[in-house]
Amino acid sequence: MLMRKSLPEREIPYITKLFPTIKEKDFRKLANGNYCLQVSFNTAGKYACGFFDVLIEYPYNYPMAAPKAWIQKPEISRKTPHVYEWDKDNHANICYNRPKKDWHFSYSSYEVCLMIESWITTYCRWLKTQIWDWPEAGMLDHLF
């Protein structure tokens, strides 16, 4: 009988394209049973605003559903556009795509990290200019 690989085994080849030092042991299980992975992004360029620690939470049905991306550090302003929610520790669950519209089951951790990095870059620009280049999604964008 052929055993299906674990999520960490499946994602390592993709995530290491951006974070070469990530190992299977860096994935851990949350209390809700989902896997998660902590990664750090360093911003650069004209609108650079430091390092961002992000917890990627893979849902039980990944890749059929998109992972959540929780900004752990720095603290994200509650006035920030494109944030779904804040947890009890004030970590922001960012809207890096519209799950029902933009997500595709063929996406891997590689594409997820590129989308998160794009959100972070846009956030840094917004902090300095108050311009967010993405339109706000309408309520229906998240349903269909």
Short-list 39, 45, 30, CA closest to 113: 39
Q: What is the pLDDT of residue 141?
A: 46
- Structural domains of the chain, ranges and CATH numbers in brackets: 7-134 (3.10.110)
In order of 36, 66, 77, the CA distances from 96 in angstroms are 17, 10, 16
Report residue 122's pLDDT band, with 50, 70 and 90 as the boundaries: very high
Which residues lie closer than 8 Å to 129 by C-beta, 6 or more apart?
47
- pTM, rounded to two decimals: 0.90
Helical packing angle, 7-15 and 109-129, nearest 10°: 60
Which residues lie closer than 8 Å to 105 by C-beta, 6 or more apart?
63, 64
Per-chain mean pLDDT for the chain:
91
Q: pLDDT of 22-48, one tens digit each? A: 999 999 999 999 999 999 999 999 999
Backbone dihedral region for residue 141 (phi beyond 0: left; psi -120 to 50: alpha; all else: beta): alpha
Residue 72 and residue 76: Cα distance in Å, rounded?
9
Sign of the C-alpha dihedral computed for residues 110, 102, 58 and 39 taken in this order: positive
